[in-house]
A and B are shown apart, each in its own frame.
Chain A
Amino acid sequence: MPFIPLTDDEERTILTTLGCQTSDDLFASIPPKIRETAKMSLRLPEGRALAKGMTEHEARLWFAERAERNTPAKFRHFLGGGVYDNVIPSAVDALVARGEFLTCYTPYQPEISQGTLKAIFEFQTFICRLTGMEVANASMYDGASAIAEAILMANRLRPGKRSVLISSLLPPDYRQVVDTFLKHQACLSVELGFDELGAVDVREMAELAKTNDPCCAVVCYTNYFGVVEDLASIRSSLPSDCLLVVCIPDPSALSIFETPAALGADIVAGEAHQFGTPMSFGGPHVGFFATRRSYARQMPGRLVGETVDSRGNTAYALTLATREQHIRREKATSNICTNQGLIALRCTIYLSLLGKDGFRKLGIQNYSLFDYLKTSLESLGIPMKFKKAFCYREGLFEVPNLDKRFDAAVAKGIIPGIRPAKKGFQPNEFGSTLLVTVHPKLAKADVDELVEVLSHD
């Protein structure tokens, strides 16, 4: 067996050393009643029995067949809404495939984990520089769980407050995760509506903040309709003791739009998979989490700090661990044990390759391509749902005969976008809307083809 080196002879050697007759002797503390029925009979839904395993090549073919049942690679898509396609520099895959990164553990032994530790320190630095915040952690499971943890932290920072104000324009998956996590908290969640710009209704929010005694307001920058929220006016309309939690599902926007820190954010949490990690059907992705220095000890997740070693060299170690479950157990700030180490590394390598100029270009190109798409659609009578919405690289369009035109696009090898009505938005209001997103794999010709197929029956 390729993954198990133990030979029959060696098994006998071990058993002799132990003074056992058979290996079953070692399992004698399992009650006989349990052992009797322990045999596994494994079967695939297709009917194939799995007593013996497949060879490596059989497994390769089995998966290749399943991969072909998904959308063919030649399809183009305009999907986004929290998960973004991107081109991935070849060096990213080459570097993360190194066993030294792939097959190491959480860096509890700093002397033999300096590579991972230093890379995480760089990741934390990247997140701070992107968001403008002072401290960032070593990563979270994904954007949705990062924002849920951000709200729990706001609760800890403002104990006794009655509610959480939450924008209705978080990606629906984020919102559902937040709801799950808040179910067991005393805090009430109050939904924030949107205005005719497809952005948080700031006036309504100010009223709700007055009556609901909130610990924080959670807004999305950019929101699910692709709109760049006016964070400064949101901040100034909130009571001073209400924390501003900014959710960032699309951090490529931070290349051209002002940092949430400069606009008054207290906690920033989001999702960075588009920096070097494929969409992978929604995971593994990588959440990020940043805040003010004074709140560092209330953060969830791992943190890496720079220090020195016994020889006076710069060295790195996990730090402020007294927040964490393996030390504090039931008093920990979170139950999280792992981070998304390898995906955070992908992000770090990607941003290093892209660099200062490349990062800015990424944002400008996304913005420009969307502007072209929007102008083209509008000129053919496909308006944005919120006509004056200020969008970055995705937006909500009103498409007549949507069912038909959606199918027509698919027939041409284009997945034209996401239908919010299928993601929990009211069918009455959103039944004919389509969320259309651009990404660096798309060019003018792809957009022209999409515009063509969406603009007539």
Chain B
Amino acid sequence: MIEGQGTTGLVLKEPTIFERSSAGRQGYALPALDVPEKQPVRFVRHKAAELPEVSELEVVRHFTRLSNWNYSVDLGMFPLGSCTMKYNPRINEEIAALPGLSVIHPDLPAEHCQGALEIIYCLEKLLCGISGMDECTAQPSAGAQGELTGLMIVRAFHESLGSSRKIVLVPDTAHGTNPASSVLAGYQAITLKSSSSGILNLEDVRGVCDKFGRDIAAMMITNPNTLGLFESNIIEISQALHNVGAQLYMDGANLNAIMGYAKPSDMGVDVMQFNLHKTFSTPHGGGGPGAGPVAVRSHLAPYLPNPRIRLVEGKYVTENLKSSIGKVRGYYGNFGVLVRALAYILQQGADGLKQVSKAAVLNANYLRHRLSSHFAVPYRSPHFHECVLTDAIQIKENGVKTLAIAKALIDQGFHPPTIYFPLVVGGAMLIEPTETESLQELDKLIDAFITIAEAIRTKKDNFEHAPRKTIVGKVDEVRAARQPILSLDDRAQ
């Protein structure tokens, strides 16, 4: 076994919280009731919900132990391609927890929530400034809901022109959410093959535009794409789409690579979403909450979700648009996430955001360059914020595949890259270091990769049994799916 920074320590076992229960124990005292106690007489619950009975310390210990089983950005580098696991500044947590921002009900009359409305308004304006787009809604809950919102806006726009289009074009490098969102918006998703250089071929796009013409509602492009490559034909692609009346949707998941270097508006983009939990540093929280604001050019603005926030004579007011697609979620969106993202943008400023993109791109290219003599690199051109390696060399040398390399990295003390995505690259490892990692950390990751590659080349280890140092060994995911145990009460059955 090769030693990296990953080592074992004292990690404690822990049952579920329900198994810690002792009848009669309490973990919290509610404020006392000072009016007569009443019992409902109708629709009474027959059997009390079986919640655990545990003390506060037991709860604290339980969840502290669980937390020790997680890998996180705070613990070490998390080069998960496409997910942008950058550092989450703690001041943003402090700000979002201010009572004046967190203990406020969304149905407060507008004069009682001017500060909250101002925050949303500021964020929407700044996202327009960053992207060059004209108007923005902060309502969508996450990137995928932003995609759906954007496509519903596109649909409403076409319908207002009396045109019922059927197709959304999606490159084969796209995130899985793109085709799924297209279908949910009532469209058929047609996959477009990217060229051997990793980006879309302009002639292919023109060909598809000729073939389907006015049946095309929109094309969804991620730029830079999920291979970390800039779609350099983007202006011509947008023209080809606009010639048949179609709209260009940009999946802004990778906006963190181009801030200050390219504005989506200048690429001919009509509508896009931002992933605040990626580009603007709000914490991922083990899978959410995120936020996926949507920005549009002015011709699509009449269809944005309700309500819109406006600044009228120094007061923030809400307004409902007649032609709006409606609401896509309750109230104003994930407000607490919007607060964090705005705090981040205010602290970076325009100059800082450009630095973010520059450092993210420098880091990714450094990694790619240093690793390219040990791993197969399918695309040679400079990359943006992420790069792709494959397992081609390791398969040839000792039959070791991407999954084993990923698990071996865990024992070296790193979170693995995104694996087997994008689908267009066999055995892909998509690596995104982000701008918040130092050169020293990058070198450590590179060393870990090289150590693994060496062990494979010299046949010292094929990592069949990795990871070895984690609280659990390789997890039997097949069994999890075949005999689903989805709650504690399924165990007995």
Contacts and interface: CB of A to CB of B under 8 A. Distances in A.
Interface string A1-31: 1111110001101110110000101111111
A11 to B, nearest CB: 6
A371 B105 CA distance: 23
B336 A280 contact: yes
Contact of A285 (B56, B97, B330): B330
Interface residues on A, range: 35 or more
Interface string B343-364: 1011111111111101101110
Contacts of B125: 44-45
B284 interface: yes
Given A180-B327, A279-B103, A352-B62, A415 B108 contact: yes
A401 to B, nearest CB: 17
B51 A368 contact: no
Nearest to B441: A5
Interface stretch (B70-78, B200-208, B293-301, B451-459): B70-78
Q: Using C-beta atoms within 8 Å of the partner chain, give the interface range for chain B.
A: 35 or more
Interface string A53-85: 111101110111111111111010101011101
Contacts of B399: none
Nearest to B326: A180
Contact of A310 (B34, B288, B476): B476
Nearest to A7: B439
B485 A110 contact: no
A349 B35 CA distance: 28
Contacts of B347: 3, 53-56, 59
Interface string A297-330: 0000011111111110101111111101111111
Contacts of A343: 285, 288-289
B439 A356 contact: no
A164 to B, nearest CB: 16
Contacts of B103: 73, 85, 278-279
A281 B106 contact: yes
Contacts of A63: 95, 98, 101, 119, 339, 343
Contact of A335 (B59, B180, B290, B480): B180
Interface string B381-392: 110100000000
Given A77-B105, A116-B287, A355-B26, A319 B370 contact: no
A45 B235 CA distance: 31
B64 A129 contact: no
A107 B121 contact: no
B322 to A, nearest CB: 14
Contact of A99 (B75, B94, B474): B75
Given A258-B46, A278-B102, A1 B54 contact: no
Given A111-B410, A141-B142, A339-B288, A34 B351 contact: no
B331 A173 contact: yes
B426 interface: no
Contact of B144 (A176, A327, A338, A355): A338
B283 to A, nearest CB: 5
B85 interface: yes
Q: Which of B112, B184, B288, B327 has the most CB of A within 10 A?
A: B288
B313 interface: no
Nearest to B37: A368
A283 B335 contact: yes
Interface string B99-116: 111111111110011111
Contacts, number: 715
A328 B177 CA distance: 10
B326 A176 contact: yes
A356 B27 contact: no
B30 A342 contact: no
B17 A352 contact: yes
B311 A45 contact: yes
Given A135-B486, A337-B144, A41 B129 contact: yes
A296 to B, nearest CB: 7
Given A5-B437, A23-B362, A70-B100, A174 B63 contact: no
Contacts of A190: none
A100 interface: yes
A354 interface: yes
Contacts of A302: 287
17 contacts: A34-B235, A35-B262, A50-B346, A51-B351, A53-B349, A69-B100, A105-B85, A111-B407, A111-B410, A112-B410, A278-B102, A280-B335, A284-B288, A284-B335, A313-B473, A355-B54, A440-B30
Enumerate the 10 nearest inter-chain pairs by beta-carbon distance, A residue then B residue, closest first. A282-B331, A67-B100, A99-B74, A342-B285, A282-B106, A53-B349, A184-B186, A69-B115, A284-B289, A66-B115
Given A68-B100, A258-B44, A280-B102, 19 more contacts: A13-B439, A26-B361, A71-B104, A87-B30, A91-B59, A100-B68, A101-B72, A171-B330, A282-B333, A305-B481, A319-B480, A326-B177, A330-B183, A335-B145, A367-B39, A415-B109, A415-B112, A418-B107, A443-B34
